[in-house]
Amino acid sequence: MNRIKGKLLCGMALSCLLAACATTPATVDPAAKLDAVVAEADAAQKAGQTDKAVKLLKDATGAFPADKAPWVRLAQIKFDGENYGEAINYALEGLQRDPKDKVANSIVAVGGLRLSTKALNELRTQNDLNGNVRSEAQGLAKILRESLGETVLLPANPPRPKVIRPVVKKGAVPTSKPSTPAEPASGEANPFGSLQ
């Protein structure tokens, strides 16, 4: 009887082992899984479901902590939505994983310039652009000019487009007025004008 029980237990153990091997899932390539998540987020973004895309990518940052792709994609979504602060933070996370990533570096540079321009405009409207802030802004403007190889960042008086006036025969009445370029609104003045 013990012998039968032993064989029975051994057979059951072998069956369980074989069943466990048969149901073990095949290993999934992590890169393929991440690509699928990023593709799903891109599809959600194109469908106008930005919140869903952001959630998918944030989940991917936890599931794939060493990969830059979800961070850089999050940065691009936030940049496109003109949320430059968050875009820069996500881009910096991407740069920690790949310091040479061109998209992340571009987002940090351009997003930073846009935030700086907005802040300088605010300071200028409040007449608070003086002292240390002014000298630091002038120093940054100089670095930008040197980096871009330009003597000025923005021309003080940008060239105006030529106005094409229709030829009107003597005695004829013109049917429409020629268009002239509109003057920039007072809030659209060159934020770096005093720094040139």
Confirm whether 20 is domain-assigned. no
What DSSP state is assigned to residue 188? G
Amino acid 118: pLDDT: 83
pLDDT band at residue 114 using 50, 70 and 90 as cut-offs: confident
Confirm whether 72 is domain-assigned. yes
| 126 phi/psi in degrees, rounded to 5 | -90, 0
Amino acid 14: pLDDT: 52
Domains identified in the chain, total number: 1
Tell which wins on pLDDT, 187 or 20: 20
Confirm whether 123 is domain-assigned. yes
Confirm whether 65 is domain-assigned. yes
Residue numbers of the domain that contains 59? 30-148
Amino acid 177: pLDDT: 52
What is the per-residue pLDDT across 26-64, written as a single tens digit (0 to 9) for each? 566 778 899 999 999 999 999 999 999 999 999 999 999
Q: Against a cut of 0.95, is the pTM above it?
A: no
Q: Cα torsion at 83, 86, 88, 92 (round to 10°)?
A: -160
Task: Report the CATH number at residue 76.
Answer: 1.25.40.10
Confirm whether 4 is domain-assigned. no
pLDDT band at residue 104 using 50, 70 and 90 as cut-offs: very high
Confirm whether 78 is domain-assigned. yes
Query: 42: how many CB neighbours lie within 10 A of its CB?
Result: 15
| 63 phi/psi in degrees, rounded to 5 | -75, -30
What is the per-residue pLDDT across 138-193, written as a single tens digit (0 to 9) for each? 777 777 777 767 666 555 555 555 556 666 666 666 555 544 444 444 444 554 44
Q: How far apart, in whole angstroms, are the C-alpha atoms of residue 194 and residue 130?
A: 11
Q: Is 182 left (phi over 0), alpha (psi -120 to 50) or beta?
A: beta
Confirm whether 193 is domain-assigned. no
Confirm whether 95 is domain-assigned. yes
Q: How far apart, in whole angstroms, are the C-alpha atoms of residue 57 and residue 162?
A: 48
Q: How far apart, in whole angstroms, are the C-alpha atoms of residue 44 and residue 52?
A: 6
